[in-house]
Amino acid sequence: MFAQVLERLATLGVGSIVAVFNGNYRPYTLAGHTRFVSIDNPDNLGSAGGFRLGIEAARQIDADYYLLLDDDNLPELDCLNKLFAVHAELGGNPMQALLAYRPGQPWQGAVAQRGVVTVGRPNTYGWFNLLNLTFRLGLLLGISKPARNTETSFPNAPVRIDRAPYGGLLLSRQALLLPELPDPRFFCYYDDLDFSERLARHGVTYHLCTEALIRDLELSWYVHKGRVHPLFSPVTSDQQIFFDLRNAFIFYRTRMRSRTIYLLNGIGFWAGILSLALFRSADPGTTRRRLATIRRAVHHGSRGEFASY
């Protein structure tokens, strides 16, 4: 999978490639590519640690623009050309960052199809916000169709967003050299949103470019695949759930604007957890273990504690 992404980048003719092997890949070399930089981590430092090392290495390479990718992000052949074309249309400001569209990410599908930004809302309790309820009920009842990883791009104007993930993010050298790096305490999940928000405080702005397409070769753990919800599926690791939910609380705890609305969102969160545990869990053993993991993640995250798993 990672090799497929690296080969695609070589095909696109990029000047340099920085690849971080984060404790779980055998070192891989692109034959004939003279500007291939390999960072071999013996330990898995998570996305936060891996991207931190990658960005530090990329800063040593003299380039005008940098495209950040996860190991399963496969850009379409015209992705870079479309990103640069849209960047020029927006004025070519080096503090303007663009995010390529990944239809495998449900929140990006909501932005592309409906202009609804479901991440980063104030007063979010963990994963739940009442303002997103209409969108999520539409998906649940089949009224709205989620974006699929096989969909084509949308010929829409770029959509302004306040934050962005690593995967598919095009940054100028001026933006990449700002005095910010991913926070390794997150380990994984929400470290990218935290990093991009800190860049925004220095003047970086973001647009989702719906014409530039990236395929996710592996879907995120929370993408629904059947009757059993991923949150209560034995296929999903307890560690994934713990870090995702712990970090969600840490990320949103500074965004509380109304305690009343926050508590209402909390009621919705726990009602949703109870509903999934009762009706969409794989088995009683998984249910008990997951509820314990969720309680522990909420306990530490709501206090801003980067507790280990």
Chain center to CA of 78:
22
Low-confidence stretches of the chain (pLDDT < 70) are 25-34, 135-155, 224-225
DSSP class of residue 246 equals H
pLDDT for 139 equals 57
Domain covering 2-105+147-216 in this structure, CATH number: 3.90.550.60
pLDDT confidence of residue 60: 96
Query: What are the boundaries of each domain within the chain?
Result: 2-105+147-216, 230-301
Q: What is the pLDDT of residue 76?
A: 96
Nearest one of 115, 33, 67 to 214, comparing CA atoms: 67
The secondary structure of 284-306 as a DSSP string is HHHHHHHHHHHHHHHHHHTTT--
Q: Are strands 36-41 and 17-22 parallel, antiparallel or unpaired?
A: parallel
Give residue-wise pLDDT tens across range 82-133: 999 999 999 999 999 999 999 889 889 888 887 888 999 999 999 999 998 8
DSSP H or E segment with residue 248:
helix 238-252
Q: Is the dihedral of CA 94, 114, 168, 45 positive or negative?
A: positive
